[in-house]
Amino acid sequence: MCGFVRDPPRTRPQPHSHRRRSDSGATTEGQPLDVRPACHGLTVSQLLTVSGTDLRYLLTAYLFDHGPATGEELVDALAYHGFRPIGRPSKAVSDALRWETARARAIRISRGNYRPGTMSRATRHRIIARVRTLHDEVAALSRRRDAGLTA
């Protein structure tokens, strides 16, 4: 999976004595976070937001392509490919996969662990076509971002 890199902060932290510190010891207050997957260069705010059917299709296609995965791996895979679920990512993924589990396209192995189930050819074709369209939208976002940097 693609790791995340943080661009240098654009503003200085505000001098507060009650600043929170992350596990690494870095301050988190007063610094705008510009976290992006290193693989495609889109910042978190530039990721394509997905929900509903699109999110379900992306997750189902990933499971069928890559096999069993945890919820965290699925969230990372979405970010790697330029997608961001609406709301809390782990909850959005589990809610989407609950729907797919009811239709036997995904099987819940244990809490937070899923594997592919069964799917008809027609359904698989429809899902793959929509996932390709979504990937094309992300590629267009990336091209627009690159054009903005060179202009």
Q: What is the pLDDT of residue 54?
A: 95
Please provide residue 7's backbone torsions phi and psi, each rounded to the nearest 5 degrees. -70, 155
pLDDT of amino acid 20: 46
Q: The tokens of 103 are what?
A: 């239709």
Contact status, residue 112 vs residue 71, Cβ threshold 8 Å? yes
32 inside domain: no
Residue 145's pLDDT is 76
- How many domains in the chain? 1
Whether 125 maps to a domain, the answer reads: yes
Q: What is the pLDDT of residue 37?
A: 47
**Residue 7: inside a domain, yes or no?**
no
Q: Does any domain span residue 25?
A: no
Q: Are 82 and 65 in contact (CB under 8 A)?
A: no
Question: For the chain, which residues score pLDDT lower than 70?
Answer: 1-45, 148-151
Question: Is 81 inside any structural domain?
Answer: yes
- CATH at 129: 1.10.10.10
Residue 57, in any domain of the structure: yes
Answering whether pTM is above 0.85, one says no
Q: What is the pLDDT of residues 106-119, one digit of tens each?
A: 999 999 999 999 99
Between the alpha carbon of residue 96 and those of residues 9, 31, 53, 57, 58, the distances in Å are 34, 32, 8, 9, 10
Q: Is residue 17 in some structural domain?
A: no
Q: Look at residue 144 in the predicted model and tell me its pLDDT.
A: 80
